[in-house]
Amino acid sequence: MRIENIDHNLKLLEKSFGGLADINKYSQTILTPVVRWSPFIKSWLYTLLHPNARLRRQNDAEHTLGMVMLVTNTSLKLQPYNPSLDCFLLTLAATDHEFGEGILKSDVCYLVKKSDRDRDEYLAFVKRFAVLGGDLMIYHRRAFLLQFAGIETGDEDNAWEIFPEADRKILHWLWENRRREAYIFKYCERLEYILFAIEQGCRYRNYIMAEEVLRNHICDMHQACKLIPGWEEKIWTPNIDNLAKEVHKELVSCLPPAKLFKPEINRGV
């Protein structure tokens, strides 16, 4: 009876914290099983062409922690150029942005992700985080949606029509009032892809990954330099840009023609 009483009181104590305990536990378990970069891990053609190439397997929890550090440090570097920057929103967005994938138990590569998948990830996130309730949930919804606010289609309504009306209003508010934060988040995530791919090139000579990611995202860094004050001065400097382009040129010269492996792995990240 004593053990049963202890068990009962432990569960009661846990429930007393409400959503705080629930989300705290959930955040430590839901992201770890989701493995990223699956085209490079599962591609038979990639393995055939580069049987000795390896990479550090990255899951969503690792990517999320990396994004929290990258977004926070980048925001601090950029703050002198953007005095009113909402660093808290950016850090919370980095913390929350992959929970939808964790709930749905799969990662979808950036360049092949469909808008319906974005909606499904968001709705799964809202349903799970609803236990927080009240003002906390307002903060989290806004932070999660920040990743969808940094669009450049010229037709925001059409791009956001997959979301419920109430959430489209949040996206409009973010676009009007936190556009710079949306851009910083967007290009920080592209930068995280680049940094991960560079690591695999340095550590394992995984040149296909390094070449593909640089090819896909150097142009994003150029766009960030145009849109975000301080990005060119503090993050993607001219020296870095020149070196990245030179490295990419060298990688292209030593790899098989891209068309040989494009159907299997050249799908973006």
Domain ranges in the chain?
38-265
Angle, to 10 degrees, between the axis of helix 238-254 and the axis of helix 207-227? 150
pLDDT in tens, 209-237: 899 999 999 999 999 999 999 999 999 99
268: left (phi over 0), alpha (psi -120 to 50) or beta: left
Architecture in CATH of 38-265? Orthogonal Bundle (1.10)
Q: 75 and 184 in contact (C-beta within 8 Å)?
A: yes
Confidence of residue 49 (pLDDT cuts 50, 70, 90): low
pLDDT in tens, 183-210: 999 999 999 999 999 999 999 888 888 9
AA letter at 161 = E
Gap between the Cα atoms of 258 and 266, Å rounded = 8
pLDDT in tens, 67-121: 999 999 999 999 999 999 999 999 999 999 999 999 898 877 665 566 688 999 9
Dump the DSSP string for 149-169.
H---SS-HHHHHTTS-HHHHH
Instruction: Name beta bridge partners: 59.
Output: 35
AA letter at 240 = I
Gap between the Cα atoms of 140 and 127, Å rounded = 12
